[in-house]
């Protein structure tokens, strides 16, 4: 299915109207360059222009803003099919993208289609893009346009992608099998390396070739390899008409849960990860947590094992954008890097949280360990993932505080010696940690620190 390429006419000059012929460009710095033909093609197709009138700068690194604009034009990322209470603006999605810039509209559309991974609402438009970021954005653009590409199913043998997430590895495989991006060598993809303007020209041309052979996906509103695990009708947009909310469980080829996409009236609005197998199920509920009279959506990840791990994400629904106001990272390394637990003798244990600076000496119940005193020397650092949450307005300001509860383990997994509680408070529209306490299982507080927000 061919896509038309239109002129954007941006002030920064990334895009331009195509001119006839492929033999001429105004650039004086691409003659003899290995990518000269690729540059000529993206120039005459109206996708990329020079940094100035006669300079293409083939070896200059590409910024995330440039990638967003290029993909915006290649995939025609419009939002004509959507209805908005207000016209979307960069501030709906990002804290560092100003309105009126040459890239602003393209980055808004990138946010609507969720084709770039963000770090705490930061798009970082001027930062050089990495090869993995470009690959993920292209992959997500195909998904956003609901296009399927038939490729071979080979798994590339790159030595430097084994630490990537499951979804990122699938993206690299798609790049490899479609021919859009190859490794820098036979066994190195170099996901964190930056990409030059010449290399991007090559990637764009290969993307266009792949796009011409792509086909619309049937049943596009249903996430692939997924099944519905919860379905509700909720008036989240407060317009008097309930929306159909479906939460899915997405499984990998080994039939293991890997992610939990959420759709509203058939359109995917978000997806939470499975934390590398920590969560095997998920669920949601609506609750007004910020006190504005409108319900937010709380999505919980669950593990049915003995640790009972729970994850929590809170989203503020809006027709133009779903904004995440709380994400609590779960401790999946069981304290090996963050926490230190050590037996001191005399039925006392020392505890330290390196992230927050919390330190405490924990008294043990002598009677609990009668007959197994020798096992106390083997107490090691073991802090379970978050197993429960308390969500309530403790200071009567109208907004709920969220407290995450973890168990500090003694000589065996069922042996809970204290509870670690971290409380989050709503500040300027986002939840931030404000204090951390250690309590006994009965609730007696042993230690508390306040967490200073920088």
- DSSP state for residue 427 in the 8-state scheme: E
Is 404 a domain residue?
yes
Q: Verify that 81 and 210 share a domain, yes or no.
A: yes
pLDDT of residue 151: 74
Q: Across residues 264-274, what is the average pLDDT?
A: 84
pLDDT of residue 401: 97
Beta carbons within 8 Å of 398's beta carbon, 6+ residues apart: 290, 291
Q: Verify that 118 and 205 share a domain, yes or no.
A: yes
70-79, 95-104, 324-333: lowest mean pLDDT where? 324-333
Three-class HEC string of 246-291:
EEEEEECCCCCEEEEEEEECCEEEEEEECCCCCCCEEEEEEECCCC
Q: Greatest CA separation found in the chain?
A: 89
Is 403 a domain residue?
yes
Query: Is the predicted pLDDT of residue 93 greater than 60, yes or no?
Result: yes
pLDDT of residue 22: 44
The residue behind tokens 């070896």 is 59
Q: Verify that 161 and 266 share a domain, yes or no.
A: no
Residues 301 and 284 sit within 8 Å (Cβ to Cβ): no
DSSP 367-379: GGGTT-GGGGGG-
pLDDT in tens, 415-437: 788 888 999 999 988 999 999 99
Is 394 a domain residue?
yes
Query: Is the predicted pLDDT of residue 385 greater than 50, yes or no?
Result: yes
Q: Across residues 148-164, what is the average pLDDT?
A: 83
Is 54 a domain residue?
yes
Share of the chain above pLDDT 70, in %: 85
Instruction: Name the region of 449 (left: φ>0; alpha: ψ -120 to 50; beta: rest).
Output: beta
- How far is it, in rounded angstroms, from Cα 416 to Cα 34? 64
344: tokens are: 């001191």
Residue 117 phi/psi, 5-degree rounding, is -75, 135
Q: Verify that 201 and 230 share a domain, yes or no.
A: no
Which of the given ranges, 139-143, 358-362, 450-454, has the highest pLDDT on average? 139-143
Which residues sit opposite 281 in a β-bridge? 302
| Mean pLDDT for all residues in the chain | 83
Quick one: pLDDT band at residue 11, thresholds 50, 70, 90?
Answer: very low
Q: Verify that 59 and 203 share a domain, yes or no.
A: yes
Q: Verify that 51 and 145 share a domain, yes or no.
A: yes
Tell me which of 184, 216, 248 is where a domain ends: 216
Is 23 a domain residue?
no
Q: Verify that 233 and 370 share a domain, yes or no.
A: no
Strands (DSSP E) found in 108-198: 147-148
pLDDT of residue 311: 84
Is 137 a domain residue?
yes
- Residue 50's domain comprises 36-216
Query: Is the predicted pLDDT of residue 142 greater than 80, yes or no?
Result: yes
- How far is it, in rounded angstroms, from Cα 122 to Cα 88? 17
Tell me which of 163, 184, 216 is where a domain ends: 216
Quick one: pLDDT band at residue 269, thresholds 50, 70, 90?
Answer: confident
Q: Verify that 84 and 124 share a domain, yes or no.
A: yes
Could you give the number of structural domains in the chain? 3
Is 16 a domain residue?
no
Is 308 a domain residue?
yes
Q: Verify that 77 and 168 share a domain, yes or no.
A: yes
Q: Verify that 233 and 175 share a domain, yes or no.
A: no
- How far is it, in rounded angstroms, from Cα 356 to Cα 354? 6
Q: Verify that 105 and 142 share a domain, yes or no.
A: yes
- How far is it, in rounded angstroms, from Cα 330 to Cα 302? 11
Q: Verify that 441 and 380 share a domain, yes or no.
A: yes
Tell me which of 216, 238, 270 is where a domain ends: 216
């Amino acid at each position: 299915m061919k896509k038309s390429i239109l002129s954007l006419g941006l002030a920064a000059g990334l895009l331009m109207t195509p001119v006839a012929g492929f033999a001429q460009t105004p650039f004086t710095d691409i003659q003899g360059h290995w990518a000269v033909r690729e540059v000529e093609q993206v120039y005459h197709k109206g996708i990329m222009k020079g940094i100035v009138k006669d300079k293409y700068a083939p070896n200059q690194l590409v910024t995330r803003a440039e990638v967003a604009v290029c993909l915006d034009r290649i995939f025609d990322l419009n939002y004509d099919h959507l209805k908005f209470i207000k016209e979307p603006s960069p501030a709906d999605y990002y804290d560092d993208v100003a309105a009126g810039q040459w890239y602003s509209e393209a980055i808004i559309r990138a946010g609507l289609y969720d084709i770039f991974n963000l770090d705490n609402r930061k798009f970082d438009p001027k930062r050089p893009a990495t090869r993995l970021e470009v690959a993920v954005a292209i992959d997500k653009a195909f998904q956003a346009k609901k296009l399927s590409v038939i490729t071979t199913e080979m798994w590339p043998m790159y030595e430097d992608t084994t630490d990537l997430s499951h979804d990122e590895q699938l993206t690299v495989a798609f790049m490899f099998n479609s021919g859009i991006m190859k490794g820098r060598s036979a066994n190195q993809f170099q996901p964190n390396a930056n990409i030059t303007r010449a290399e991007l020209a090559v990637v764009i041309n290969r993307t266009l070739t792949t796009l011409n052979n792509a086909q619309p996906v049937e049943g596009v509103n249903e996430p692939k390899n997924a099944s519905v695990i919860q379905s509700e009708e909720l008036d989240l947009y407060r317009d008097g008409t309930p929306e159909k909310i479906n939460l899915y469980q997405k499984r990998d080829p080994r039939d293991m849960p890997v992610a939990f996409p959420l759709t509203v009236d058939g359109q995917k609005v978000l997806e939470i990860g499975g934390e590398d197998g920590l969560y095997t199920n998920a669920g949601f509920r609506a609750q007004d947590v910020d006190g504005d009279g409108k319900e937010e959506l709380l999505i919980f990840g669950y593990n049915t094992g003995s640790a009972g791990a729970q994850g929590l994400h809170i989203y503020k629904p809006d027709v133009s954008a779903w904004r995440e106001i709380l994400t609590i990272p779960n401790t999946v390394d069981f304290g090996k890097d963050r926490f230190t637990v050590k037996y001191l003798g005399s039925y006392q244990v020392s505890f330290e949280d390196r992230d927050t600076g919390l330190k405490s000496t924990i008294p043990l119940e002598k009677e609990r360990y009668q007959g197994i005193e020798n096992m106390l020397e083997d107490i090691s650092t073991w802090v379970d993932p978050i197993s429960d949450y308390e969500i309530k307005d403790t200071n009567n300001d109208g907004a709920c505080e969220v407290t995450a509860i973890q168990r500090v383990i003694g000589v065996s997994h069922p042996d809970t010696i204290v509870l670690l509680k971290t409380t989050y408070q709503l500040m300027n529209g986002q939840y931030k940690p404000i204090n951390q306490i250690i309590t006994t299982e009965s609730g007696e507080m042993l230690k508390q620190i306040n967490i200073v927000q920088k």
